[in-house]
Structure 1
């Protein structure tokens, strides 16, 4: 916006930009999964998503995440990366890696909760250790519960690239609470 409050027009496409690229995302009603989670423990909910009994949350499809290994207090997810998640300097946006870490930390805590309980992040500290490129993936993220709790739980996460190199780590504190009836 200039000093007169007028927004400049977007730049016109040029031949140097090449052909446009696209990726389509489809998902199912997320409230189906939420309702299914009310009847299952956190671990059972995660298993039901992994096994296709409940639809995955839309964010998982948007950022191309999938569930790998599951056990109480530990989850492993994969994430395909491509240039659709690049930032302006030509590397995967750190927000994608942060989302992956937040997800595995939260889902690790979720695996420790009984039916009818949920969680939300209170704090997330991420350490980025190396840049991620489309050729770095797929990424593998592991979330582990450090200390479960009835009100607050603590977890950590690590993301590795396809070569096994750690690209980021995180620590997280999460609020645990009873879910309201639907």
Structure 2
């Protein structure tokens, strides 16, 4: 059995500086797309890249490598769920005002097809179905390189004031 190693590098955002809490979610996500703000650490680990962001909509590309495969050599369902959660959350992010955060309450994923390496990259298109001041709802689908829908999801998000979040210790 061959052993492999993956090195993951990410920007923890500690050097982003003051002011990001003052950006609307849409402005924040557009800066991520433009490369002016970093992707999340999870995005680096899961090979995710936000490719577009508009009001209530986000698209995220995933380029899985061997470290994202399951025992039979297809893309692990957990990676697909992470892709969907990231895109749906990003779509919700575009609807919230400055100083507002969000977190997943639930996610319901339907896996429609196995995804093998030759069917990558994957693209997840997500949209908000109902924005809200306390709770928001979103849906999305993952399409493979052949244009086939391979998974869909719906999700509910808790929306909260960022001032309520605990501060990260350095």
Q: Which of the pair has more CA radius of gyration?
A: 1
SS at match of 1:48: helix
In structure 2, the partner of 1:76 is 59
SS at match of 2:10: coil
> Given the alignment of the two structures, is residue 120 of structure 1 paired with residue 99 of structure 2, yes or no?
no
In structure 2, the partner of 1:3 is none
Offset at residue 151 of structure 1 (A): 0.6
Match of 1:138 among 117, 121, 144: 121
Structure 2 stretches of 5 or more lacking a match?
none
In structure 2, the partner of 1:26 is 9
Quickly say closer, same or farther: Cα 1:59–1:89, change in 2 above 3 A: same
Partners of 2:160 and 2:116 lie apart in 1 by 37
TM-score (norm 2): 0.90
Quickly say closer, same or farther: Cα 1:151–1:26, change in 2 above 3 A: same
Match of 1:94 among 69, 77, 82: 77
In structure 2, the partner of 1:161 is 144
Moved over 6 A (4+): none
Taking only aligned residues, the RMSD between alpha carbons, in angstroms, comes to 1.7
In structure 1, the partner of 2:89 is 106
Offset at residue 35 of structure 1 (A): 5.3
Partners of 2:163 and 2:17 lie apart in 1 by 11
In structure 2, the partner of 1:170 is 153
